[in-house]
Chains A and B, each alone.
Chain A
């Protein structure tokens, strides 16, 4: 048996479900317990408020399912759990606030430690001397930790309420369709609830669309209000002016 074959078999043994594998040696049992224990602990830390909301037993069952179905692939445990909100959406299909709460919790933590980016200074942008055409072609790079999603529950209210432990009864469902934005400003992760319309505009900007393209699907005055808000929030790391045509043409 080559070393590679040995390692593939070893990993399969420690990652196997209890009821799907033969009894193993006490030493292998230590490795199996450590593997599962470490991944479970990582999920418990990353989703502490979600755990508080669904309860210990339900959370552990969901986490164990996730550990078997989604073994870790990355070199850092900090990345483990990015797919967990999606799995929770399927497992708690009748309680949509669970997956949305987990999404917010995950992205607030990711924003906290996301790689640094500069923050776009609104005054510097205002004094850049852009022409009307420059503004139309302007693109933006998003702030550190930016993420956005539509939501249908009061998950943000729940997230706040769970800060100090299990929340009292919260009206979790029945909210009008809305959206959540997460990003980091300075060293503080932030979130804001907004409309689906604004979410779609920001998603387009995050994917590289210039302001002119955003303006095609909303009123210019509305776009102006959003842009002011985005700059005040610190949602952008930098403005990216269009490259003049003569430069493109060499």
Chain B
């Protein structure tokens, strides 16, 4: 098994159905493309032809939402097999998923549900990540999700949990700066403390996204709006701390024309360049 993921410093977007024709018609100003893995697993026909055509033009990162790494019941063997088959087909930059659970008692939730930061949860995540990394024969990237509740039994902060997870499994991290901001508002922590607690050499990718207002001053990670000023500012601090690494803008709802997202991505390039020079 290859235990390392070499740094990759580029700027990318998610491949969404609304933009398939744009990608097929012309080369876009992107260094990589991220796919939602589940959209192309156990799949063929036109969607797979599109992915293969895109893969010929760009490196592809595989980002999953259903591995359920926080499941005490363990991982779904069939899911792992399908994911591995897709990875074999497209040779991705890396495979990522979230620090969350999405399945229990035979039911799927199709949402990234939060974990208490306890030793039991850490042990379960370590076991599951090691299992997945053995199957894929490569380290995973684990992303911090947004969360809307916390648990009284938690004994660690989220960033301490992620650092321990990376230390024990050798996994890398996908830092979602918008999620850091959203959770910091929802739970009242300092987002810079989050960044400071993440091991700098383990971050391989950064997500940027928009969010919306929820009940009672909370924020919701909706991916339906441009990146806000606070998140841009936090991104600058992240680049200072983690150095330039693969950055992408996620948009999953109210998806605008591709040129609009490319223009927003250009802002990320500029912000990263300025912060890199300043650092």
Q: Which residues of A are at the interface with B, using a C-beta cutoff of 8 A?
A: 1-4, 6-8, 10-11, 14-15, 25-31, 34-35, 38-39, 42, 71-78, 80, 111-117, 144-145, 184, 187
Across-interface contacts of A145 in B (CB, < 8 A): 45
- A167 to B273 Cα, complex, angstroms: 53
- A117 to B45 Cα, complex, angstroms: 9
Q: Which residues of B are at the interface with A, using a C-beta cutoff of 8 A?
A: 38-39, 41-49, 66, 70-73, 76, 79, 101-111, 113, 115-116, 118, 120-121, 124, 147-149, 151, 153, 186, 214-216, 218, 220
- A111 to B45 Cα, complex, angstroms: 8
A116 adjacent to B110 (CB under 8 Å): no
A38 adjacent to B111 (CB under 8 Å): yes
Min Cβ gap B82→A in Å is 8
Across-interface contacts of B102 in A (CB, < 8 A): 75
B113 adjacent to A10 (CB under 8 Å): yes
Given contacts A7-B72, A76-B41, contact A27 B186 (CB under 8 A): yes
Across-interface contacts of A187 in B (CB, < 8 A): 45-46, 49
- A244 to B217 Cα, complex, angstroms: 74
A75 adjacent to B103 (CB under 8 Å): yes
**Among A4, A30, A184, residue most surrounded by chain B Cβ atoms (within 10 Å):** A30
- A107 to B104 Cα, complex, angstroms: 28
Min Cβ gap A29→B in Å is 6
- A3 to B147 Cα, complex, angstroms: 17
Candidates B49, B108, B216; contact of A74 at CB < 8 Å: B108
Given contacts A11-B104, A26-B215, A115-B42, contact A75 B111 (CB under 8 A): no
Q: 13 interchain pairs (CB within 8 A)? A: A1-B153, A3-B72, A28-B148, A30-B218, A30-B220, A31-B111, A38-B111, A71-B107, A76-B42, A77-B38, A112-B47, A113-B45, A144-B45
Candidates B38, B44, B49, B215; contact of A75 at CB < 8 Å: B38
B68 and chain A: residue at smallest CB distance: A75
**A contact patch SS:** helix
B107 adjacent to A113 (CB under 8 Å): no
B47 adjacent to A77 (CB under 8 Å): no
Given contacts A75-B66, A76-B66, contact A14 B109 (CB under 8 A): yes
A8 adjacent to B105 (CB under 8 Å): yes
**Among A8, A28, A31, A35, residue most surrounded by chain B Cβ atoms (within 10 Å):** A31
B104 adjacent to A2 (CB under 8 Å): no
Candidates A10, A34, A80, A115; contact of B44 at CB < 8 Å: A115
- A2 to B73 Cα, complex, angstroms: 12
Across-interface contacts of A29 in B (CB, < 8 A): 215
Across-interface contacts of A75 in B (CB, < 8 A): 38, 66, 76, 79, 102-103, 108
B218 adjacent to A26 (CB under 8 Å): yes
B41 adjacent to A114 (CB under 8 Å): no
- A35 to B102 Cα, complex, angstroms: 11
- A144 to B109 Cα, complex, angstroms: 29
Across-interface contacts of B218 in A (CB, < 8 A): 26-27, 30
Across-interface contacts of A71 in B (CB, < 8 A): 107-108
- A72 to B66 Cα, complex, angstroms: 12
Across-interface contacts of B111 in A (CB, < 8 A): 14, 31, 34-35, 38
Across-interface contacts of B46 in A (CB, < 8 A): 112-113, 187
Min Cβ gap A183→B in Å is 11
Min Cβ gap B158→A in Å is 15
Across-interface contacts of A27 in B (CB, < 8 A): 147-149, 186, 218
B109 adjacent to A11 (CB under 8 Å): yes
Min Cβ gap A85→B in Å is 20
Candidates B44, B45, B121, B186; contact of A3 at CB < 8 Å: B121
